[in-house]
């Protein structure tokens, strides 16, 4: 556990240093983010599905998918009730931030570090309902309009969802990929944790802490990183689910606000400055939160 934490956050520190020293600029950091999301992470997801299929594994896949659906339904209601008295712009950002976390980018390497390739595979399945909510309920929160056709298009075309579908096909068919194809995919996929954590470190290097302190933002971060995962932990302790499913569900729920929060707020002009504060401050606070939750869950 200690080695894992040192590895993850040590790599993050390297990213912070190279950004502070100007070795990597803002545009290069954005390019690295796109590289991780569109190439490295999908390769990592595909290889995580290359394992022997068993009844237990299939049951775990179905279970974590259903848990994720339940978490998303709870998040929608929870956000509506909790932030109904906030101003419209803030309320939209807070509600979206409760529904959509940064689990896809930050959560996958954490899940893999804690639970190995099986953890990464199940985490990829867990994230499918969240990605659907990002482009359906998420868009509806900001625009008041839900375009089902556009939602399907965005979800199906997302590289990580495509990788998950490919992985499921490989898992169910137990197809054997030729080494000449599999080896490059595995090699690229192994870069995921290092590159993801370095990019997070670069983002943190660009933050001015004095400009993001806000009472509402602090309370949101407490909800996002502590209260919601704690509720999920208690509920899943009562329900008959495995330790693996419970651990993954909790750690993926304990992730900061997703970057799309500030992007959509900017697109629809819904207090983008406040949205950026949510993303930045919750990301900073996620470092100790992830360490604590990882220790509790393992």
| Residue 156, pLDDT above cutoff 80 | no
Per-residue pLDDT, averaged over 155-183, amounts to: 85
Cβ pair 90, 274 in contact under 8 A:
yes
| Residue 97, pLDDT above cutoff 70 | yes
| Average pLDDT of the chain to the nearest whole number | 86
| Residue 189, pLDDT above cutoff 90 | no
What is each CA distance from 159 to 29, 219, 273, in whole angstroms? 19, 33, 29
**Listed range (107-121, 146-160, 213-227) with the worst mean pLDDT:** 146-160
pLDDT digits (tens, 9 = 90+) for 192-211: 878 877 887 887 787 776 77
User: pLDDT above 70 covers what percent of the chain?
Assistant: 96
pLDDT at 146: 63
Paired strand residues for 257? 101
Per-residue pLDDT, averaged over 128-144, amounts to: 81
Domain boundaries, the chain: 2-297
| Residue 45, pLDDT above cutoff 90 | no
pLDDT at 287: 83
Label residue 72 exposed, middle or buried (CB < 10 Å: 0-12, 13-18, 19+): middle
| Residue 50, pLDDT above cutoff 90 | no
pLDDT at 222: 96
Verdict on whether the full-model pTM lies above 0.95: no
pLDDT at 212: 74
CATH of domain 2-297: 1.20.1530.20
The residue whose two tokens read 């339904």 is 73
pLDDT at 1: 58
| Residue 294, pLDDT above cutoff 80 | yes
């Amino acid at each position: 556990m200690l080695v894992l934490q040192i590895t993850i956050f040590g790599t993050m520190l390297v990213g912070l240093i190279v950004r502070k020293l100007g070795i990597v600029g803002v545009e290069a950091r954005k390019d690295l983010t796109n590289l991780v999301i569109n190439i490295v992470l999908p390769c990592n997801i595909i290889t995580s599905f290359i394992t022997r299929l068993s009844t237990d594994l299939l049951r775990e896949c179905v279970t974590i998918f259903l848990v994720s659906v339940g978490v998303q339904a709870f998040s929608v209601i929870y956000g509506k009730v909790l932030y109904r008295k906030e101003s419209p712009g803030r309320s939209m950002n807070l509600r979206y931030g409760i529904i959509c976390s940064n689990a896809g980018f930050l959560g996958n390497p954490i899940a893999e570090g804690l639970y190995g390739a099986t953890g990464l595979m199940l985490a990829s399945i867990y994230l499918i309902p969240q990605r659907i909510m990002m482009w359906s309920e998420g868009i509806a929160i900001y625009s008041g309009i839900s375009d089902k056709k556009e939602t399907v298009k965005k979800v199906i075309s997302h590289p990580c969802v495509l990788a998950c579908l490919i992985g499921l096909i490989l898992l169910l068919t137990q197809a054997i990929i030729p080494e000449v194809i599999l080896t490059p995919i595995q090699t690229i996929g192994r870069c995921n944790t290092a590159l993801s954590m370095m990019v997070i470190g670069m983002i943190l290097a660009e933050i001015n802490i004095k400009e993001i302190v806000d009472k509402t933002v602090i309370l949101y971060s407490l909800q996002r990183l502590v209260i919601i995962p704690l509720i999920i932990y208690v509920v899943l302790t009562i329900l008959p689910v495995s330790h693996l499913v419970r651990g993954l569900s909790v750690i993926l729920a304990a992730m900061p606000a997703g970057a799309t929060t500030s992007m959509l707020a900017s697109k629809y002009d819904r207090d983008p400055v406040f949205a950026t504060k949510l993303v930045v401050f919750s990301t900073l606070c996620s470092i100790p939160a992830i360490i604590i939750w990882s220790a509790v869950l393992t």
